[in-house]
Amino acid sequence: MRRLIVKLFGDSIIGRVVQDPSTGRYRRMEPLADIKSEGLELSFVNCGKFGSTISKGRKLIERQLEGDPDCQVILVGFGGNDCNFKWAEIGENPSLDHEPSTPLDQFHRNYLYVISRIKEAGIRLILTNLPPIDAEKFYDTWIAPDQARDQILAWLGDKQAIYRWHEMYSLKVEAIARETDTPLLDLRSPFLENRTFKSLIGPDGIHPTEEGHGLILEAAREFIALEADRG
């Protein structure tokens, strides 16, 4: 049986983190089990880190590639933390321009660098777009408790601006995949086409519920197995 080791790099979404709705605490779900089908075994090593951006991921991937990465496939999924803002600073000075954690042009450059390094190492690469967020839940969790929430909302224009900004980073990853001719795992569509969307995103508006992570797992297993068969 042919065995492929797949390393997953990304933030807490890739890291399979969920939020307990009763306590608000975060925890990792169980490790991914191996997939065996028709002469192929996929073994997963999850390197997702809570709070990671593409800049942090770049350093982690660089360290892996400098040694023996011990894998045949790398999956990369960043953007959810890159597009976030320092909301308290916006509340203090809503009339100023504020940059996200990773401006979009820098996000683009870092992604291109990571892609080139992985491909130069001869490792197969898969990118993922971003599962959607729930802007209402996000606002209620991260912005509504702030004393300056009215100023922050005025800066945003409307609550759904949070969703649209996050979506722009997902679209950028899709564009990068086309630009570099890299396979793209679509983690966004299974959420958007689901009529129970609200149940798929946890209380903080960012992290999928266990049901949401189930959708991600199903899409990832099917796509990675298909890509492996092609090689």
CA distance 124 to 145: 44
pLDDT of residue 192: 96
Residue 207 structure tokens: 């992290």
Kindly give, in sequence order, each residue whose CB lies less than 8 Å from that of residue 147, ignoring residues fewer than 6 positions away. Answer: 91
pLDDT at 54: 98
Estimate the crossing angle of helix 104-120 against helix 54-66, to 10 degrees. 20
What does the pLDDT read at residue 22?
Answer: 86
147 DSSP β-pair partners: none
**C-alpha to C-alpha distances, 55 to 80, 128, 226, nearest whole angstrom:** 13, 16, 29
Q: What is the pLDDT along the chain (231 residues), one digit of tens a residue?
A: 788 899 999 999 999 999 998 898 999 998 888 877 777 788 999 999 999 999 999 999 999 999 888 999 999 999 999 999 999 999 999 999 999 999 999 999 999 999 999 999 999 999 999 999 999 999 999 998 878 999 999 999 999 999 999 999 999 999 999 999 999 999 999 999 999 999 999 999 999 999 999 999 889 888 887 777 676
Half-sphere exposure of 143 (CA within 13 A, CB side): 27
Give the per-residue pLDDT at 38. 72
Sorted by sequence, the CB contacts under 8 Å of residue 181 that are 6+ apart come out as: none
The token pair at 225 is: 């197995």
Type of residue at 168: M
- Do 139 and 95 form a contact (C-beta atoms < 8 A)? no
Check if the beta carbon of residue 77 is closer than 8 Å to that of residue 9.
yes
Q: DSSP letter string over the chain?
A: -EEEEEEEEESTTTTTEEE-TTT--EEE-PPPPPEEETTEEEEEEE---TT--HHHHHHHHHHHHHS----SEEEEE--TTTT---HHHHHH-TTS----SS-HHHHHHHHHHHHHHHHHTT-EEEEE--PPP-HHHHIIIIITTSTTHHHHHHHHSSTTHHHHHHHHHHHHHHHHHHHHT--EE--SHHHHT-TTHHHHB-TTSSSB-HHHHHHHHHHHHHHHHHHHHH-
